[in-house]
Structure 1
Amino acid sequence: MDINHAEQKIKNLLRLAAQENASDLHLTVGRHPTFRIDGKLISLVKDKILAPDDTQEMCNAIIKEEKKKILLSEGQVDFSYNLENKARFRVNAFFQQGYISVAFRLIPNAVKALKELNLPESLYDLVKKSQGLFLVVGPVGQGKSTTLASLINEINHTQEKHIITIEDPIEYIYEQDKCIIDQREVYQDSKSFRAALKSVFREDDNVIFLGEMRDLDTIRTALTAAETGH
C-alpha cells in the first residue's frame, strides 16, 4: 500500500466511522479494521485483514514528523487528526509485538452545554469561582473530556476571561465568545506540560485547563498556580 493509497484508505474509514456514529476505530495487524459502536467492537469484514505494512503506511500517512520521532523513540504517541474540517479525531499510535497499531477516538465538533449532559447544577457555581484547583477524574470513556469542554465553554459564553488550555493532543476546538482562549498542544507548542504550565505565570491568565498531570513536577507547578490565584 503506497502512501497516497494509505491516506485515502484512512480518510474513507474515518468518514464511515463518523457516518456510523462510531466512537472509535482500531487498526491492528491481523485484524479487519474495527469500529466501536455503542460499546461493541464491530469488524469491517468486507475490508481485508491488515498486514504490518498496511498499519505502518496508514500511520505514516497522517502522522507529523515530530510525532513520528516520539513514536519511534518511546513506542507510543498521541496526536490529533482533522478530517477535511468535518470531523476531528484523537489518535494514539503504538507498537505491539513489533508492529504499529492505531486507535482513533471521534471528537464531536460541537461542545455540549452543561444542561445537555444532565450534570449537577452545582457545576454552574463552580465555574464562577475566581480561584482554586478543580479535578475531573474517572475511568476511560466516561466523559471527562466532554465534561471539561462543557465547563470551559460555559465560562467562554458567560464571563470575560483569558483561558489557556494545555493538552496532548488538543481535542475540542473552542469558538471564542466572551473569552480569549489560547490552546497549546504539548510537543507542538511547548516541549512538556510542565514547561507550558510554568510559562502561564507570564501570560496574564484567568483560567488554566491542564489536560493531564503526568509527573510530580507538573503536579507541584499546578498546585503553585492554584495557590497564587491562576
Structure 2
Amino acid sequence: MEKIIKAAVDRGASDLHIKAGDVFRARIDGRLVPLTKQRLTPDQTKAIAQRLISNDEDRMRIDKLRDYDCSWGMPGIGRFRVNILRQRSSFMIVMRVIPFDVPTFESLKLPAVLAEVANAERGMILVTGVTGSGKSSTMAAIINHINQNQHRHILTLENPIEFLHRDINCSVTQREIGVDTDDFRTGLRAALRQDPDVVLIGEMRDSETIDTAMKAAETGHLLVSTLHTPDAVTTVNRIVSMFPPEEQEIARLRLSEALHAVVSQRLLPRADGHGRAAALEVLLATGTVRDMIREKD
C-alpha cells in the first residue's frame, strides 16, 4: 500500500480512492486515473481501513462504522485526511493528500491582496469554492502568514486537523473535532473563552455555528472559515438563507458589519497542460459592499 501511495503522491495526486471490487485510483490534475490492475477484495479493503484508524476503540468496532473521518501520516511522504465509508456492505476509503510543508501565498501563487486580507485585526474571512478547489490550502496559507508576521493566539477547529502549524511568532492551538472537542458549535463557543485573536473553523455547516462565528467577529476576533459556495454573491445569500425567514433581515445586518472578505476560488487546467492553477475572486467588504449586503435585493 505504501508503495502505491508514494507513487501517487510523486505523480501529484490530490486524492486516492480505495474500494472493494475496484483498483487503486488517484485524482491527478482533476482526473481519476487507475494506479493498479488488480482489484481489491473486501477483506483487503477492510484491512487497509483498520490500518488507517489510529484510535484503538474505533478500530475494534470497525464493522459498526458507517462514515468515519480521521487523519493518517506516512513518513517522508505527507499526511492524509481520511474518510472511511460503507458501500454495498463493504468498505471504501478516500484519502486527501496533505503535504507536510504548510503552504505559503508564494508557493500557491496567490495574489498579493491576500496578505492585506490576512493582516486584518477583526472580521470574517470566508474562503469558498466547490470540493477539491484548494480551500484548505488557501486557509492554511492565511494562517501561516499570520503566524509568520504577527504576535497573536491562533485557535483552529478542524475535522480532522490537516496542516500542522508550528508556533513561530504566534501561539497556535489546534483542536480536532471528536478528539479535543465534541463538535464545531461546542468548540467555537468554548474558543471565545480561550483568549484567541484568530479563530479558524474548518467549515460552517449550520446557522448556530454561523451565529457564533459572527459574534466572534463582532467582539474583535479575526474569524477564518470555509463554505461550499462558488462565488461571493452566492456566499452571502447562502449564509442568510441558513437563518429562519424572520431572522434574515438582522442576519444581513450582522453579516454586513462582521464580514471582512470573501475569497472564492476554483482550480483550472494550466495552459501548458501541466497541473492546475487557482483562479480567485476576492470581495473586500467596502462601504458599498456592506450597503449592498444590507439591501435584500
TM-score (norm 1): 0.88
Distance 2:137 2:215 in 1: 26
**Structure 2 counterpart of 1:133:** 124
Larger deviation: 210-219 or 182-191? 210-219
Aligned counterpart in structure 1 of residue 83 of structure 2, from 92, 95, 101: 92
The reply on whether 1:201 has 2:197 as its aligned counterpart is no
Distance 2:100 2:204 in 1: 25
* Residues 213 and 111 of structure 1, relative CA distance in 2, 3 Å threshold: same
Which stretches in structure 2 are left out of the alignment for 5+ residues? 222-297
How far does residue 66 in structure 1 lie from its aligned partner after superposition?
A: 5.3
Distance 1:60 1:69 in 2: 9
* Residues 71 and 226 of structure 1, relative CA distance in 2, 3 Å threshold: farther
**Structure 2 counterpart of 1:5:** none
**Structure 1 counterpart of 2:96:** 105
CA-to-partner distance for each residue in 1:32-62, whole Å, 9 max, x for gaps?
Answer: 111222222222334x211111111110112
Larger deviation: 186-195 or 18-27? 18-27
Distance 1:22 1:135 in 2: 26
Distance 2:182 2:159 in 1: 11
How far does residue 177 in structure 1 lie from its aligned partner after superposition?
A: 0.9
Distance 2:80 2:115 in 1: 28
**Structure 2 counterpart of 1:163:** 154
CA-to-partner distance for each residue in 1:62-114, whole Å, 9 max, x for gaps?
Answer: 21245558976672122110113641111111111221100111111212221
**Structure 1 counterpart of 2:24:** 33
The reply on whether 1:52 has 2:42 as its aligned counterpart is yes
CA-to-partner distance for each residue in 1:3-37, whole Å, 9 max, x for gaps?
Answer: xxxxxx3x333223223322221111211111222
**Structure 1 counterpart of 2:294:** none
The reply on whether 1:80 has 2:71 as its aligned counterpart is yes
* Number of equivalenced pairs: 220
Which stretches in structure 1 are left out of the alignment for 5+ residues? 1-8
TM-score (norm 2): 0.69
Distance 1:148 1:164 in 2: 13
By percentage of residues, which structure has more strand? 2
* Residues 25 and 197 of structure 1, relative CA distance in 2, 3 Å threshold: same
How far does residue 205 in structure 1 lie from its aligned partner after superposition?
A: 0.5
Report the secondary structure of 1:177's partner residue: coil
Aligned counterpart in structure 2 of residue 187 of structure 1, from 172, 175, 178: 178
Q: State the structure with more CA Rg.
A: 2
What RMSD, in angstroms, separates the aligned Cα atoms of the two structures? 2.0
1:55 maps to a residue whose letter is T
User: Equivalences for 1:10-25 in 2 at 5 Å?
Assistant: 11-25=2-16
2:93 maps to a residue whose letter is V
